[in-house]
Structure 1
Amino acid sequence: AMRAALDGELARTRISLVSEGRSTAALPLIERLLAVIEQTGAGERVAFSLACDESATLPLASDDAAELLGPLLENAARHARRLVHVAVETVGDRRMLIVGDDGPGLDSAQRDEAILRGARLDSGGEGHGLGLAIARELAEASRGDLALARSPLGGLEVRVGWTLSA
């Protein structure tokens, strides 16, 4: 409980320091994070597919982008049956970061609960239920939004979007 409280306070402090006007090249960051996750038990048993243009950027400093994306990739790998898909794309005037898996997914009530700080839908395993909440808070701190939906792969899809500056 103490560790969860400490992690929560550190995350709130970090979010308050998100730098405006920063950006990070998406592809090298995602590739680095995937290389780490592929070395874990969950990452070894799933395949990752990646769709990201070399010029794509995320509107966050590198550390903040890694803190947002890391938990999304870890969750997807942990819950996927065989496949995790990661994409960065531009849709109209929005930059979208999409992480989807072929796991069991969440129903709409579970999706609403999953992004609350400290909410844990899986009572086993590691963690304190902060990953999705921190990702949502980082997205919002960088003027973006985070939404959970059913993935075309059948599991959970996390979509983080930012409006592009004109």
Structure 2
Amino acid sequence: MISKENIRVIKGDITKESVDAIVNAANSSLMGGSGVDGAIHRAGGKRILEECMEIISRQGKCQTGEAVITSGGNLPAKYVIHTVGPVWNGGNNQERQKLKNCYNNSLELALKHGIQSIAFPNISTGIYRFPKEEAAGIAFTTVKNFLEVTPSPVDVTFICYDDENFALYQKLHQQLPDH
């Protein structure tokens, strides 16, 4: 059973997290952008960008809901898992499933690389306009369900940048058992 020991919620800056991997809410070009994507690229340095360019030349753009991995560059995290969240379009374009895929594919990639601690931002809730409460529910449920069927232990931290997301995630976290 998943408990409060497996999932943490904090308010802060994901670029400062000392975990095995942080997740980047990337755009499909993987070239950096605004929000968390730009912050990760700036803090991580040119090595991350160079690795993203290699991925793009090998496979083309990263599709919505998919995930790829690079080193952490200058970040305290060893790896960055880049996932492309859906742009909210009223909910009629499979946005919910695509957001769920972001979390599942990121966690699958983490397992494949032996990652035992991972930090997620609030994917798609900024300029992509996914309703924050709905996104929090999808994120929490997807991660919890994944961890319940995964034989390998992974500690998950949700790093909330703004007060609204922090309050939403804390509310969901309180519903988890203590042990």
Tell me the TM-score normalised to structure 2 length: 0.26
Q: Which has the higher contact order (CA 8 A, sep 6+)?
A: 2
Q: Which has a greater percent of strand? A: 1
